[in-house]
Structure 1
Amino acid sequence: MIKHTYDMGLIGNCAYLALIRKDTSVAWLCWPRFDSSFVFGDLLDTEKGGEFSVRPAAGSPFETHQYYQTNTNVLCTEIENEDGRYRVTDFAPRFEQHERYYKPLMIIRKLEPLSGTPRVRVTCNPVGEYGEKQLTRRRSSNHIAYLGLNEEIRLTTDIPLTYILEDEDFVLNQPRYLVLTYGAPLEAALESTAERFLRSTKDYWRKWVKSTSISNFHQNAVIRSALALKMHQYEDTGAIIAASTTSLPEAPGSTRNWDYRFCWMRDTYYTLTAFNNIGHFEEMERYFHYIANISTKVVGKYQPLYGISGASELTEIELPLKGYLGNQPVRIGNDAYTHIQNDVYGQVLVALLPLYVDCRFIDPERTNPSKLVYEALHMIQTTMDQPDAGLWEFRHIAQYHCYTYLFHWAGSNAARKVAHSLGNADMEALATDLMKQAEERIERCFSEEHQAYANAIGSPHLDASTLQLIMMGYLDPTSERAHRHLEALEKDLMTPEGLFYRYRHADDFGTPETTFLICSFWYVETLACVGRLDDAIREFEKLITYTNHLGLLSEDVDAKTGSQWGNFPQAYSHVGLVNAAYRIAKKLDRPNFV
């Protein structure tokens, strides 16, 4: 079977994200927000998706090489054929200016001849409303305006406009520039401004990487994951989305095609842990404030996910698009917002704990945490004996999930620490009581048959999420029970390649066909926790072979072929890599680290 990989690179500036193919075409770009309609989306429909490319002259076979400039999110694509060789440098401007970050809705493409006399064709045809709206073009002196959206899209360039408007090839015999903007256009000298923005953007990313606190353990993989994760934060609100795309299938033909351009509460703890592990507190604080803002608006219960603005209604609809490689349906919105996932209350408490007890955070907004903590504890109390959809968001299955009780336990433990720091004895007593209640229910998930914890009370099935029992300290990693639990999960859920399924039993859409990368990284962390460090290193080094050519990870991997599937790049997978590398590095440095 042929190995399927996403042969694309990601660029972004924390205001937008774009995916660039190895043939230079922009496969995916949503403007003006992460969750807006695409303006280029041939990833999901080659007819309706528009096009923005710098391809060789029509019909010319070519070879391509794509790479990032070291320690940046500046992407280079080199194309070579019989006519010659050229390079397209793509980037989203981001740098400090006037005591804040400049991050315009602007993609800059620099074209450079490298050898010979390459002939190229530039095509620019943005669309609106997920391909349903064709835009009108207006030619001006040095730009083309695309009209029909709420704001103007403008292509400013020093390439003769006739070549672009009439889809004509031309010889690339000197550097040329393409600047595409949404809303505010570029109104400055083209070449000098593009070059200044390029230098400043490279300097910004390299400075950001230098401020990253990481060990020598597989630094390149950790740096690329950190850079990818950083781009998934919508800086305006602090939200971090799960992935930049929608409807890339978890497995071909599975119909498990979901919109991931939202912020999942279940990811909060792991994502904040990743930023903490690499020493980036600005991103943590922005995400803290996003979560805290949601917590002030909650009436009755938390949802599993929210929009990047904190919007709570994320109605799921299907679009009349062909889908990625013909995989339908294509969905926008996500009905999981209506589900009951009771682990979210513990997730919020664990995630926000550093804001209240870590002396590095000084913020007037944290001075009165009692209301938020009490409300979360009361929701844990209220939902203690309510079944839910669980971490994996089963659509028609409700159970008493072990993972939910683990976060009831962990959240109550976090609240107990906050209460202790505040000297609030009543809050501490409530949190302690809820910890005991959660512990009693976790123990009811223990399966004598498996000698391990099942996914839910009374269930015969195992689930990779219960690796967290060891990682979060519920089980003593040195105990016989922890080792037996891990061995049972290995036997039931691990493939010969070392990849992990979330679970093996049927759900609303059948039996899962692909493995979930975050679970494989959890397995690596768990190996390190229990002292199997050599195994952890070996399995980690296997996992980083499942990246694409640029070191980017998908959501899912087909164990038999090594194929990438699911939305891409997947922030959660990169979070898993960062956290697993951190855990191993700490064990190498301090063998008793848990």
Structure 2
Amino acid sequence: MEKHMYNAGLIGNCAYLAHINKNTNVTWLCWPRFDSTFVFGSLLDKEKGGEFSILPEGDYETEQYYLENTNVLCTKVNCEGGQYLITDFAPRFRQYDRYFKPLMLIRKIEPLEGLPKIRVKCEPVCDYGRRKQKARRGSNHIDYAGCEETMRLTTNIPLSYIIDEQYFQLNEAKYLLLSYGDPLEAPLVSTAETFLRNTAEYWRLWIKHSSIAGYFQPYVIRSALALKIHQYEDTGAIIAASTTSLPEHPGSTRNWDYRYCWLRDTYYVLTSLNHIGHFEEMERYFNYVSDISISEGDEFRYQPLYGITGKKKLVEEIMDHLDGYLGDKPVRVGNQAYEHIQNDIYGQVLISLLPLYTDHRFIFSERKDSVRWIESVLNKIERTIDEKDAGIWEFRNMANIHCYSNLFQWAGCNAAEKMALTIGNKDLEEKAKALKERAAAHIESCYDPVRKVYTNAAGSPHLDASTLQLIMMNYLDPASQRAKDHLAALEKELKTPNGLFYRYLHADDFGKPKTTFLICAFWYVEALACVGRLDDAMREFENLMKYCNHLLLFSEDVDEETGSMWGNFPQAYSHVGLMNAAYRIAIKLDRPVFL
């Protein structure tokens, strides 16, 4: 079986995300929000998904790379007539004491060698490809109408060449500026160049202000840049991935919409960004969670995920009219997991925001209603601590007392205890301690003394990679024999010959998993480092680096046999795993942190 790769890069500005394929096409772009309909979506249907490509006449080869330490993407095209470069970016920089992040995609095309003949094709669509937008010529622009808002393509390319899809000779730099809603009311060339310079400077300064250790730095930098643009800055929500319905394995029907904010995933993202000294994302997320808490009031529970505006109902629909990625159906919009009971999330919310109370760079007194908020989350833990749930892997028809869920209730109570100590509330402190003991009792009910391992759930024989977290969260002392035995048992059953890691191997609602889950392999690396097997951790980490694409971007899943990338892409979880594992190794190596 041929190795499958995602041959695309990601650009974004914390207001939108776009995928640019090596073939120059914008294969995925949702406007006006992360979770909106796509305006370009050939990733899921080549016919109905529209197109925005800049291709030469005849055969060609491309090379793709990022401007160093930025989210500005370059695609170099070699063709019979010569060579040209496309620079794609989403403008983002400080202006008037706030971030300028318009719904605007800018594409600069410049000749490098010879006089290549090129053709620009721009065909945006509406309503998940059910309708094409209508092109209307203006003086120096083309308006595309038919959706909620008009889109405008402002350019110094003759409009007739674009409308008629005609080849023309590229003899000077050309610009394509596609905007949603408000059109550009400024000079094209100087504005595009200023935005490009300011955007590159913004990203480079962001990286300069990061504290990244000297262990696989280029990979950590790229992961950090990718994670940053998964935050929807308007509300503070952080999404799991920019895509929907990229299958975990061909024919598996495990095709999910990940354009939402999972409270669990966000904990991991914020942890990785905190490790490199970025806290702005956490403060924005605090506001998002606070708003959710207010809307939920004293309701029984949090949902596992919410829309990027805190929307609760994310009703799952199947888009039958779309072919799916490489013809792999179904295409889903929405995610039924919003109905699930997943009881680890309360703990993750508390741990996510713990630094706001324990790190003296933050003034906790600025947080209004701290007592009410902490008490509200602890009450949710108290009401759900003895419940069966769907667990981290969101089983649709299976409920258990999951070890992982109770671990994070334990860890969340641990965090709440520290918060209560900071704000001087003895009652909350005592409540957190009592709940922590109840959670620990459930965790111990998952221990198998014969195999010397914690199983995935009470009374279950199955092993699960998520229980590696028992070691990383210090529930098990990493130096203890119990931690080492637990790791060895998971390693023996779930690790593959190629160094990848299965989530679990038992059948679930969709049969047995056929691909490995990349973050599990990074958890394994972390656990190795924690128990002192540092050489093993470094070897396994270095081995995992080969599973990225040409831009150091990682997918959700990897096929053990072929090394193929599958699942949604790029996957925030995978990049989080990489950053946290690199951080853990760097600490053990005592590598210097570069500020």
% of aligned pairs identical? 65
Aligned-residue offset at 1:85: 0.8
**Structure 2 residue matching 1:538: 3-state secondary structure:** helix
Letter in 2 for 1:224: R
**Structure 1 residue matching 2:135: 3-state secondary structure:** strand
Letter in 2 for 1:545: K
Q: Does 1:300 align with 2:306?
A: no
Identify the range of structure 1 (366-375 vs 31-40) with the bigger mean alpha-carbon deviation. Answer: 366-375
Deviations 1:231-257 (A, max 9, x none): 101111111100000000000110000
Find the counterpart in structure 1 of residue 40 from structure 2. 40
**Structure 1 residue matching 2:189: 3-state secondary structure:** helix
Find the counterpart in structure 2 of residue 541 from structure 1. 542
Contact map agreement 2:282 2:352 (CA 8 A) in 1:
no
Q: Does 1:168 align with 2:162?
A: no
Alignment of 1:45-56 (within 5 A): 45-56=45-56
- Cα distance in 1, alignment partners of residues 78 and 295 from structure 2: 55
- Cα distance in 2, alignment partners of residues 415 and 117 from structure 1: 65
- Cα distance in 1, alignment partners of residues 232 and 78 from structure 2: 36
- Cα distance in 2, alignment partners of residues 216 and 418 from structure 1: 32
Find the counterpart in structure 1 of residue 149 from structure 2. 151
**Structure 1 residue matching 2:381: 3-state secondary structure:** helix
Alignment of 1:270-349 (within 5 A): 270-298=268-296, 299-319=299-319, 320-349=321-350
Q: Does 1:576 align with 2:577?
A: yes
Aligned-residue offset at 1:292: 2.2
Letter in 1 for 2:25: S
CA gap of 1:590–1:83, structure 2 versus 1, over 3 A, is closer
Contact map agreement 1:356 1:369 (CA 8 A) in 2:
no
- Cα distance in 2, alignment partners of residues 448 and 400 from structure 1: 18
Contact map agreement 2:282 2:353 (CA 8 A) in 1:
no
Moved segments of 4+, more than 2 Å = 362-365
Aligned-residue offset at 1:448: 2.6
Letter in 2 for 1:146: Y
Alignment of 1:260-271 (within 5 A): 260-271=258-269
**Structure 2 residue matching 1:27: 3-state secondary structure:** strand
Aligned-residue offset at 1:357: 2.4
- Cα distance in 2, alignment partners of residues 199 and 367 from structure 1: 39
Find the counterpart in structure 2 of residue 476 from structure 1. 477
- Cα distance in 2, alignment partners of residues 75 and 408 from structure 1: 41
Aligned-residue offset at 1:368: 2.8
Identify the range of structure 1 (264-273 vs 183-192) with the bigger mean alpha-carbon deviation. Answer: 264-273
Q: Does 1:402 align with 2:403?
A: yes
**Structure 1 residue matching 2:213: 3-state secondary structure:** coil
Letter in 2 for 1:94: R
**Structure 2 residue matching 1:244: 3-state secondary structure:** coil
Contact map agreement 2:214 2:591 (CA 8 A) in 1:
no
1:244 corresponds to which of 242, 245, 266: 242
Contact map agreement 2:526 2:581 (CA 8 A) in 1:
yes
Aligned-residue offset at 1:450: 2.2
**Structure 1 residue matching 2:142: 3-state secondary structure:** strand
Alignment RMSD, CA only? 1.1
- Cα distance in 2, alignment partners of residues 64 and 33 from structure 1: 30
Letter in 2 for 1:342: N
Contact map agreement 1:288 1:355 (CA 8 A) in 2:
no
Alignment of 1:363-402 (within 5 A): 365-402=366-403
Aligned-residue offset at 1:519: 0.7
**Structure 1 residue matching 2:354: 3-state secondary structure:** helix
**Structure 2 residue matching 1:542: 3-state secondary structure:** helix
- Cα distance in 2, alignment partners of residues 285 and 400 from structure 1: 32
Aligned-residue offset at 1:422: 2.3
**Structure 2 residue matching 1:194: 3-state secondary structure:** helix
Deviations 1:144-190 (A, max 9, x none): 00011121100000000001000111111111000000011111111
If the length of structure 1 is used for normalisation, what is the TM-score? 0.98
**Structure 1 residue matching 2:11: 3-state secondary structure:** strand
Contact map agreement 2:215 2:591 (CA 8 A) in 1:
no
Aligned-residue offset at 1:423: 2.3
- Cα distance in 1, alignment partners of residues 189 and 351 from structure 2: 49
Identify the range of structure 1 (10-19 vs 446-455) with the bigger mean alpha-carbon deviation. Answer: 446-455
If the length of structure 2 is used for normalisation, what is the TM-score? 0.98
- Cα distance in 1, alignment partners of residues 354 and 218 from structure 2: 30
Q: Does 1:226 align with 2:224?
A: yes
- Cα distance in 2, alignment partners of residues 87 and 363 from structure 1: 49
2:82 corresponds to which of 62, 84, 93: 84
Identify the range of structure 1 (471-480 vs 352-361) with the bigger mean alpha-carbon deviation. Answer: 352-361
Aligned-residue offset at 1:352: 1.8
Find the counterpart in structure 1 of residue 445 from structure 2. 444
**Structure 1 residue matching 2:521: 3-state secondary structure:** helix
Aligned-residue offset at 1:300: 2.0
The total of aligned residue pairs comes to 589
Deviations 1:295-329 (A, max 9, x none): 22222210000000011110000002000001100
- Cα distance in 2, alignment partners of residues 243 and 417 from structure 1: 32
Contact map agreement 1:345 1:379 (CA 8 A) in 2:
yes
Find the counterpart in structure 2 of residue 101 from structure 1. 99
- Cα distance in 2, alignment partners of residues 386 and 303 from structure 1: 15
Letter in 1 for 2:342: Q
Deviations 1:347-404 (A, max 9, x none): 1111121222222123665143111211221221211211000000000000000001
1:190 corresponds to which of 171, 188, 191: 188
- Cα distance in 2, alignment partners of residues 416 and 256 from structure 1: 39
Contact map agreement 2:213 2:591 (CA 8 A) in 1:
no
**Structure 1 residue matching 2:14: 3-state secondary structure:** coil
Contact map agreement 2:211 2:276 (CA 8 A) in 1:
yes
- Cα distance in 2, alignment partners of residues 225 and 568 from structure 1: 13
Find the counterpart in structure 2 of residue 506 from structure 1. 507
- Cα distance in 1, alignment partners of residues 117 and 129 from structure 2: 29
- Cα distance in 1, alignment partners of residues 313 and 361 from structure 2: 35
- Cα distance in 2, alignment partners of residues 240 and 177 from structure 1: 31
- Cα distance in 2, alignment partners of residues 520 and 289 from structure 1: 32
Q: Which runs of 5+ in 1 are unaligned?
A: none
Find the counterpart in structure 1 of residue 561 from structure 2. 560
Q: Which runs of 5+ in 2 are unaligned?
A: none
Deviations 1:327-354 (A, max 9, x none): 1000000000000001111111111212
2:62 corresponds to which of 58, 64, 85: 64
- Cα distance in 2, alignment partners of residues 590 and 386 from structure 1: 43
Find the counterpart in structure 2 of residue 455 from structure 1. 456
Identify the range of structure 1 (443-452 vs 113-122) with the bigger mean alpha-carbon deviation. Answer: 443-452
